[in-house]
Amino acid sequence: MLRLCDDSFPFVFSVVSVDITDADVDEMYRRYELLHQRQQRFYLAQEVRQVKIPGAAMRKRLADLNTEFGERIAKNIIGIGIVVPSRVVSAAMTAIYWVSKEAAPTRIFPSATAMAEHARKACAAENLHLPPTLKTLAAVLDATWQEGDNLIDVDCSGKRPVNAA
């Protein structure tokens, strides 16, 4: 399941939960196309703490997506922050990004709070300011993760889980 929120543009936040499906990738293509049509710089945050490692076919589709959007990523994306809970997975991903040529600077973070602080600084360096609600969203994501609840249910505003009463 995928949720992509651009309510706080130039901060764009995506959450992928459990298994990534073909429908999720199709939705990523559609939403990324719309984001890049703006032709404005933005920071892309990816919350993947609850994703199962995809199989080879899905990894290929995701790689194809990055290849197809490569030039637009280089032009429009200030940076990419990926929230990963495992130190082992984080170290492996960091090593891969050091070796591979990424279209935009990509960093791995242990928490949404750390990623949000980096995003704020990266955007400020380009005279783009992120809304104060970003700090709240990050705190809610981290608390939701610690409580073992589904991150896909967090409201993009960070005020409450989507399914909460």
Instruction: Give the pLDDT score at 10.
Output: 92
Give, in order, the Cα–Cα distances in Å from 62 to each of 27, 29, 65, 66, 107: 12, 10, 5, 6, 18
Instruction: Give the pLDDT score at 49.
Output: 87
Token pair 């610690």 in the structure block, residue:
146
pLDDT at residue 165 tops 50: no
pLDDT digits (tens, 9 = 90+) for 32-41: 999 999 999 9
Pick the residue with more confidence: 162 or 127? 127
Residue range 32-59: mean pLDDT, rounded: 89
pLDDT at residue 142 tops 90: yes
Are residues 138 and 113 in contact, defined by beta-carbon separation less than 8 angstroms? Answer: yes
For the chain, percent of residues with pLDDT exceeding 90:
39
pLDDT at residue 102 tops 80: no
Domains of the chain, each with CATH number or no CATH: 2-153 (3.30.750.24)
| Sequence letter at residue 122 | A
Q: What is the pTM of this model?
A: 0.86
